Amino acid sequence: MAETTSDGHPTLLHGKYELGRLLGHGTFAKVYHARNLQSGKSVAMKVVGKEKVIKVGMMEQIKREISVMKMVKHPNIVELHEVMASKSKIYFAMELVRGGELFSKIEKGRLREDVARVYFQQLISAIDFCHSRGVYHRDLKPENLLLDENGKLKVTDFGLSAFTEHLKQDGLLHTTCGTPAYVAPEVIGKQGYDGAKADLWSCGVILYVLLAGFLPFQDDNIVAMYRKIYRGDFKCPPWFSSEARRLITKLLDPNPSTRITISKVMDSTWFKKSVPKTVKSKEEMEFEAFNGDEDANGDKSKQLETLNAFHIISLSQGFDLSPLFEERKREEKEELRFATTRPASSVISRLEEVGKAGNFSVKKSDSKVRLQGQERGRKGKLAIAADIFAVTPSFLVVEVKKDNGDTLEFNQFCSKALRPALKDIVWISPAENSTLARI
């Protein structure tokens, strides 16, 4: 008989994870420490009982949480590694965040403004990323903000989140949800609301709590508290700096149409003050070190690498010679390939033109092009690597990969800039040509 934990869960899951001690529990889920037996890495294993969630009609919510967490991979969001299931349970293998809740820090007293700013910057970075994916959290509060062992903030609990697809015909969300003290007035009002603006209100409440050590809207009577929220009736303590006061007032504007936007928050004086010094990423350092005429061993390299049959087989997964021209909703790719009968020098010139037009720094050799973005995106500066391989002397395959930055930004660059620029040099098979001729 299989070994089980003290509350009946198997200690070995799918032959892959060893379940350990209980870390915490809620109404519908328990979270255990677990170890991946293949990698030896620790994870947090969230265990949800199917029968319980079906009974209260929460199965759709669980499915939504899985869909959302697969989409939102960001340094300040708890990562979902994989989902498994048995007849009676659903298992979420998640990133183990060891530093506890941000809430426990505030319980000890308010934070210094510079410390609060660092947490708030990370929160806004994560929420901006979610919104760029059409995801609205809808339950932001310090209890759902975890800290890792280095003090880095991680947003968790996407159980109440919504997609853009959940908008009604009026373009608004209509489900009232969230924690009363952190909920925006328009959510309470049941008139329909913009998920991004509602999340920003919650961020405003969180910033206030970090700096004050208590809530902006407090009352033992929930109706009286809602009345204060509706009116935006709060006072900033005297120790708030004038810049912090100004930002919080704009975030806790009860009128969503005049409430500050996330881009304006990021552009505000208070937010930009003491932004941690930019540390160059590994990709930026590699770009600077890239010498187009040398290979990885420092040897002079002028020849195109010739692909043999084994290379082609290794590239064959998704070896689609025209991926630049496909529209795939919601699917994000970190690389693409295309074939061309043009010489490598023509491909390199074209990639260089596209890069410079898009404000990228460009480095090149006879078989490689490296593009390094200048502007910081949602996940750092976008870096792109293009490598050219010869199948025959007159038939080349070009592989374009995201080296760093945000996948969505890479995809947008490919569709808006790269695709139009390369259209006339991409090889299309005779079969595709004849299909096009018939259309």
What is the DSSP annotation of 309-378?
HHHHHHT-TT--S-GGG---TT---SEEEEEESS-HHHHHHHHHHHHHHTTEEEEE-SSEEEEEEEEEEB
**Per-residue pLDDT reduced to its tens digit, 182-224:** 999 998 887 788 889 999 999 999 999 999 999 999 888 989 9
The answer on 136 and 34 residing in a single domain is no
In a domain, 182, yes or no: yes
Q: Assess whether 139 carries a catalytic annotation.
A: yes
Give the per-residue pLDDT at 307.
Answer: 63
Residues 109 and 91 placed together within one structural domain of the fold: no
Our count of domains for the chain comes to 3
- Cα distances from 363 to residues 4, 171, 344, 369, 398, in angstroms, run 57, 44, 15, 6, 16
- Give the residue ranges of the annotated binding site for ATP: 50
> pLDDT-derived band of residue 432, with 50, 70 and 90 as boundaries?
low
- pLDDT tens column, 380-409: 788 989 888 888 888 888 889 888 888 888
Same domain (yes/no): 262, 117: yes
| Residues 119 and 87 occupy one common structural domain | no
Q: Is residue 7 part of a domain?
A: no
Looking at 80, 95, 110, which one is the last position of a domain? 95
Which residues fall in the annotated binding site? 50
Q: How confident is the model at residue 85 (pLDDT cuts 50, 70, 90)?
A: confident
- Mean pLDDT over all residues of the chain? 82
CA distances from 181 to 122, 372, 407 (A): 22, 44, 35
Same domain, 167 and 291: no
What letter represents residue 87's amino acid? K
Specify the DSSP class assigned to residue 304. Answer: P
**Which of 231, 252, 272 is the last residue in one of the domains?**
272
Q: How far is CA 415 from the centre of its chain?
A: 20
For 28, residues 6+ apart whose C-beta sits below 8 A from its C-beta are 48, 49, 52, 53, 56, 58
- 207 exposure class (CB count in 10 Å sphere: 0-12, 13-18, 19+): buried
Does the pLDDT value for residue 301 go beyond 80? Answer: no
Which of 128, 139, 253, 406 is the catalytic position?
139
Q: Which of 95, 124, 151 lies at the terminal end of a domain, its last residue?
A: 95
Q: Is residue 5 part of a domain?
A: no
C-alpha span between 304 and 347 (Å, rounded) = 13
Q: Are residues 319 and 342 in the same domain?
A: yes
Do residues 49 and 113 both lie within one domain? no
What is the number of alpha carbons within 13 Å of residue 61 lying toward its C-beta? Answer: 19
| Cα separation, 207 vs 229, whole angstroms | 16
Domain span at residue 82?
A: 12-95
Tell me what pLDDT residue 296 has.
Answer: 44
Helix, strand, coil percentages, rounded to 5, for the chain: 35, 25, 40
Nearest to 250 by CA among 259, 242, 241: 259
